[in-house]
Amino acid sequence: MKIANITKVLFTTLALSLFTTASFSQASPEATAVGTIYGANLSIKYNSPSVKGRKIYGTDLVPYGGKVWRAGANKATTFETDKDITVEGKKLPAGKYSLYVIANENEWVFIFNSKTGQWGINRDGSTTLDPTADVIRVTVKPRKAAFRESLVYQFNPDGFILGWENIEVPVGIK
């Protein structure tokens, strides 16, 4: 009887551990947006954080004032194109890039950086952006939008949109 009780306790502990680990790992689940624009196959891979009642913009989550944000959660967001494209009038060669953002109330700067595969932030809380590896930076205007609980990237015929909380930011691609 003792072995049966020990087995039940071990099984319950293991099940709770797996459930807890899965719950925490899904706090900002991985997501991928895909699209085709002017014959180029595009993808954005990111981790999607949720609002969870927090103020998002102008805080430590998405700082204003020239601080760089990793454009998602966890590891650095990546943008990939299989053909050369033009982003907001600037040429972006085919390839894979880390995508970073500098957000402000009236304009955002999207940074396409050739250094990929790194975590989104350093131990001190700064991003892993290496400015010497920037390929292009483009400036766009944010706009008010319907509330979105989770961060999302979506492709459309004109480019892509980053949307979260009550803001969306369109980025044009040709």
Q: What is the pLDDT of residue 7?
A: 47
Q: What average pLDDT does the chain have?
A: 88
94-128 pLDDT per residue, tens: 999 999 999 999 999 999 999 998 888 888 878 88
Least confident residue range of 62-66, 91-95, 150-154: 62-66
**Spatial contact of 98 and 45, defined as CB atoms under 8 Å apart:** no
For residue 132, count other CB atoms closer than 10 A to its CB.
8
pLDDT at position 30 over 50: yes
**What does the angle CA 152 – CA 157 – CA 160 come to, to the nearest 5 degrees?**
30
Residue 1 banded pLDDT, cuts 50, 70, 90: low
Specify the 3-state DSSP secondary structure of 42.
strand
**What does the angle CA 30 – CA 31 – CA 35 come to, to the nearest 5 degrees?**
155
Summarize the confidence of residues 38-45 as an average pLDDT. 98
Q: What is the pLDDT of residue 48?
A: 97
Does the predicted TM-score (pTM) go above 0.85? Answer: no
Residue 2 zone, left/alpha/beta (φ > 0; ψ -120 to 50; rest)? alpha
Q: What is the pLDDT of residue 11?
A: 45
Classify residue 95 by its DSSP letter. E
Contacting residues for 145 by C-beta, under 8 A, at least 6 apart: 163, 166, 167, 168
